Amino acid sequence: MDIEIKKLKEPYPYKKLADVLRKTYFEEYLNAGALQWSEEYAKFYFDAILPKESSRDFIFGAFDGERLVGTLFGHRDMVIFENRLKLETVNLGLTAVDPEYWRQGIAKEMLSRLIKQAEEKNIDFIMAFPEKGRYGDKLLAQFDFKNYGKTQHLIKIMEGRGLQALRENLNINVILVKLASFFSHIPEMDKPEGVIREAKIEEIDDVREILNSYATRVPLLNFYSHEGYKESNIGLAQMNERFGDPWGYHWLVLEQNGEIKATISYRIEIVTSEIIPDEYLNAPVALLTSIGYHEEMEFDQKLEFMTAILRGIRTEVPEAFISQITSPQHERKVFKKLRFIKDRNTYYLYMKPLTERAGELNNYKKYKEYLLQYFR
């Protein structure tokens, strides 16, 4: 069978992309909750998650004739190391192969092409967050990627609705539901001083300043550029218009005395879980990202802000049964205090330096704190 690896270019084959991703990321993740891969969702993903032309230069497809049978998406970004070294990276995401074509070396060939192009473009290093047991970690090891330790995906069971879903829809036994009730509680706390509101597009740089300030607090930071962050927020803001209620995107800030002190973004999406064979639960979840606090904020103030966000989600979208964050490493203590629990799956941070300057990443055997994006 002659499989050809090509760089994907406009016009993008959204229907073909959706078909491949549905067979992998939807059907393979039904036990854990799967995103809705459709042609329209694929278009949305390009507009909101892959808006930068520099990232679209690292999108590859595997073709059997005219049939798309595999994908590999790379997101080109800047990472700040130890607040002193700027490194260009390609962050891997959405690596998928049609199950009919497994065990033919297709993912390996796509990754080989991407690495070659990264070297030609003088990219400093490639990074990825593979899940244990789904072959990604083994594939990366074949290309001398190094494992820099586990990375956490955290979830918050959303009180009554979350417990109801566990008990009635997901058939979790009563003892585990009682245990989960401890972790589902959203603590009663004072409202944070100031006002939590939707951010304005003209406040991009004020919000970026907070997020990028983590360069002084953690050794690895995904740098938030003006254009990239702006384009992503504009694309994400179209979610409700494209998919209807309860889908939506919320980009929030905490304003105190005319100054922005904290920020968070979250998407409300419908996920599908297989309860028993051929019986499914479709329910909204809140996907949290890009949380950041001003350096002057005290721990209790951070808790007040995050608690207010969770209560806001519970009020605005009462049918949402969990909130999830895949990039909590820079504020782990906040999420631990609020009784977020670990996802049942295990993920790792893998990196492969391509340049001499990126070799400094090996100054650390493991990374516990960082602000890096995870592309689902």
336 lies in the same domain as 253: yes
Question: Would residue 373 count as lying in a domain?
Answer: no
How many domains does the chain divide into? Answer: 2
**Is 370 domain-assigned?**
no
Question: What CATH number did the domain enclosing 315 receive?
Answer: 3.40.630.30
Question: Same domain for 275 and 358?
Answer: no
Do 193 and 329 lie in a common domain? Answer: yes
User: Residue range 347-365: average pLDDT?
Assistant: 97
Percent of the chain with pLDDT over 90: 76
pLDDT the model gives residue 172: 61
CA distance 164 to 141: 41
User: For 127-136, 226-235, 273-282, which range has the lowest pLDDT when averaged over its residues?
Assistant: 273-282
Residues 68, 143 within the same domain:
yes
* Residue 79: other Cβ atoms inside 10 A: 25
Per-residue model confidence as pLDDT tens digits over 307-348: 999 999 999 999 998 899 999 999 999 999 999 999 878 899
Q: Mark whether 158 and 102 lie in a shared domain.
A: no
- Domain identity same for 121 and 164: no
**List of long-range contacts for 201-207, beta carbons under 8 Å, 24+ apart:** 201/230, 201/233, 201/234, 203/253, 203/260, 204/229, 204/230, 204/233, 206/260, 207/253, 207/260, 207/263, 207/292
Residue 159 and residue 145 share a domain: no
Residue 16 above 70 pLDDT? Answer: yes
Tell me what percent of the residues of the chain surpass a pLDDT of 70: 92
Residue 372 domain-assigned (yes or no): no
234 with 137, same domain?
A: no
In a domain, 66, yes or no: yes
Asked whether residue 182 carries a pLDDT value surpassing 90, the answer given is no
Residue 255 domain-assigned (yes or no): yes
Distance CA 274, CA 162 (A): 16
Residue pair 217/228 in contact (Cβ under 8 Å)? The answer is no
Q: State whether 44 and 27 are in the same domain.
A: yes
Q: Which range has the worst mean pLDDT, 51-55, 127-131, 200-204?
A: 51-55
For 175-241, the DSSP string reads HHHHHHHHHH-----PPPSSEEEE--GGGHHHHHHHHHGGGGTSSEEE---HHHHHHHHHHHTTHHH
| Tens digit of each residue's pLDDT (9 = 90 or more) over 244-274 | 999 999 999 999 999 999 999 999 999 887 7
Structural domain including 144 reads 4-149+349-363
Same domain, 178 and 316: yes
Name the token pair of 108: 């390996």
| Phi, psi for 73 (deg, rounded to 5) | -105, 130
Q: Tell me the per-residue pLDDT of 69-119, one tens digit each, with 9 for 90 and over.
A: 999 999 999 999 999 999 999 999 989 999 999 999 999 999 999 999 999
* pLDDT the model gives residue 170: 59
Whether residue 334 is contained in a domain is answered as yes
Confidence (pTM) = 0.92
In this structure, the answer to whether residues 49 and 69 fall within a common structural domain is yes
Instruction: Identify whether 369 is part of a domain.
Output: no
Shared-domain flag, residues 160 and 142: no
Position with higher pLDDT, 45 vs 33: 45
Q: Which residue has the higher pLDDT, 359 or 376?
A: 359
Whether residue 374 lies inside any domain: the answer is: no
